[in-house]
Amino acid sequence: MGTMGSLVGRLQDEVEHTREWADMGAKNSKRDKILKEVVRELDLNSLCFMELLEELEEHIYLCLLAINKSRRSLLQEIL
């Protein structure tokens, strides 16, 4: 699992990639073959985006667990 920054960067790349495909679809909306390819690509991108989002969510959760564990440990030492 990568760092949060790299995960966010990968998500940002996916958003840009999706935006490019959406622009292509908008510009070629009258061409059925291109539009079908755009829709297929957007479906694939959404799956990848959701996987990356879940990975980021898991990473954030694990970070928060580690922070809380450290916080409890520090409080025990203080008290």
Structure confidence by residue, pLDDT tens digits, 14-59: 999 999 999 988 888 888 888 888 899 999 889 989 999 999 999 9
Angle CA(47)–CA(12)–CA(18) in degrees, nearest 5? 50
**Which of 48, 68, 49 is CA-nearest to residue 60?**
68
Instruction: Please give the pLDDT value at position 16.
Output: 94
Q: Which residue has the higher pLDDT, 71 or 24?
A: 71
The parent domain of residue 32 ranges over: 4-78
For residues 23 and 71, what is the distance between their CA atoms, to the nearest angstrom?
A: 47
Q: What one-character DSSP code corresponds to residue 75?
A: H
Q: Which residue has the higher pLDDT, 38 or 65?
A: 65
Q: What one-character DSSP code corresponds to residue 29?
A: T
Phi, psi of 3 (to 5 degrees): -75, 165
pTM summary value:
0.73
The number of domains in the chain is 1
Mean pLDDT of 70-76: 94
For residues 18 and 20, what is the distance between their CA atoms, to the nearest angstrom?
A: 5
